[in-house]
Structure 1
């Protein structure tokens, strides 16, 4: 089974590249973040035409919204309000084998890494803390994936030194994410298959005139699994060419394949 996560940055605006990806890669399940669409306007017909007729959406206008589309049966499971303000940033399902699949969009956190000056940064840290409290009591095989908006390792960014004070790579964010990972011994599947310091970026800013030439990337998108599920993973792939497709997202898809 192939499971993909992709911050698409507006599913309707970029539906053509989503369709292209699904035709070429044929994942079994696709988790989307930042869909930027209310539930009734989600482009279901486009997915159903390609065989993805199981569609679970948790939509919202502006910069939020998550969805899971699938070629295999899904059971809708939960929608956690880890932001504590009803923003649509999580949706969870159960796969046919009983594994939980949790799709999350962690807030970016603004520009200043100080919760007193920048409330958005505090919201981000609180979001991770609520996820950690949930994780501590979690039981059963689970996959946690999505846009975590944190690049935890030195090799997860183009310049560790230059980004230490930049939101997404600050020590306080990294410590929070490490605490989440330790709370249930989550396996970081990206680094499990591509150990540091291997280059493994999933995001490049729109501000770069030539994103590939400057290559100022960060690994903001992740797929984690509980140990029992991680033992069944066979490979993890990032799809860097998607960053050059027509009307691209600033994120690329990531995929883990499982021996199920």
Structure 2
């Protein structure tokens, strides 16, 4: 089973790019973030025509939003919290009909956190830290649950080589020590395993996001790995490969994120 994640940065604007994504990765399940689309305007018919008959979406106008597109049957689970009591459409949970038994799939879009890495000076950063703390606490109440996958734009680049310059980005939101520590606690409490780094040593540079501000993103190559796929420990032995679709950053009308995929054996 191939499970992919992509911050599409507006599903109504970029849904035609899903055809290129499908040609490159052929995912069985694709999780989207930042769909920026109320549910009634989600392009269901167009996406179903691409070969994803099972669709779950939780969206709002202009901001946030998550969706799960699947070729396999799934059941949406409605018991997830309203994170930080904001109702801002940042998490979907579904049970996938998978060989060997259902897989509990979480699609997350963690707040970006603004520009200032200070809880008191920046309410957006406080929201980000509170969101991750709540997710960590909720995960701890559910662990150890088997056959789980968590994906999404988590807006944190945790490792030294998940950013283009560890030293220069230590005080930049997404790579600050407080965020990295918060992510480590989330992973530890949930007994999560980093499915992408399972295949790529921590000593190698690895990115999934490049800023729109760079005139030539590929030449500058100032990326960050903000998009993640985690699996429960019992699925670690099922991991077969990973793929970060770097070329998607060069597509016409590209998102600033690129798709990330892992493949699980049956």
TM-score class normalised by the smaller sequence: over 0.9
Cα distance in structure 1, aligned partners of 2:59 and 2:162: 30
Q: Structure 1: which 4+ aligned runs deviate by more than 6 Å?
A: none
CA contact under 8 A between 1:19 and 1:47: conserved in structure 2? no
Alignment of 1:47-196 (within 5 A): 47-78=47-78, 79-96=80-97, 97-138=101-142, 139-196=145-202
CA contact under 8 A between 2:193 and 2:233: conserved in structure 1? yes
Cα distance in structure 2, aligned partners of 1:140 and 1:43: 33
Counterpart of 1:197 (choices 192, 203, 210) is: 203
Cα distance in structure 2, aligned partners of 1:167 and 1:179: 18
CA contact under 8 A between 2:109 and 2:154: conserved in structure 1? yes
Superposition deviation, residue 82 in structure 1: 2.0
Segments of 5+ residues of structure 1 without an aligned counterpart are: none
Cα distance in structure 2, aligned partners of 1:220 and 1:8: 13
Q: After superposition, what is the alpha-carbon deviation per residue over 1:57-106, rounded to whole angstroms, capped at 9, x for unaligned? A: 00111221000011110111134322321100000100113110000000
Cα distance in structure 2, aligned partners of 1:239 and 1:141: 25
Counterpart of 1:251 (choices 247, 253, 257) is: 257
Superposition deviation, residue 242 in structure 1: 0.3
Q: What is the DSSP-based 3-state SS (H/G/I as helix, E as strand, rest coil) of the residue aligned with 2:253? A: coil
TM-score (norm 1): 0.98
CA contact under 8 A between 1:110 and 1:167: conserved in structure 2? yes
Task: Report the counterpart of residue 2 of structure 1 in structure 2.
Answer: 2
Superposition deviation, residue 231 in structure 1: 1.8
Segments of 5+ residues of structure 2 without an aligned counterpart are: none
CA contact under 8 A between 1:19 and 1:46: conserved in structure 2? no
Query: How many positions carry a matched residue from both structures?
Result: 260
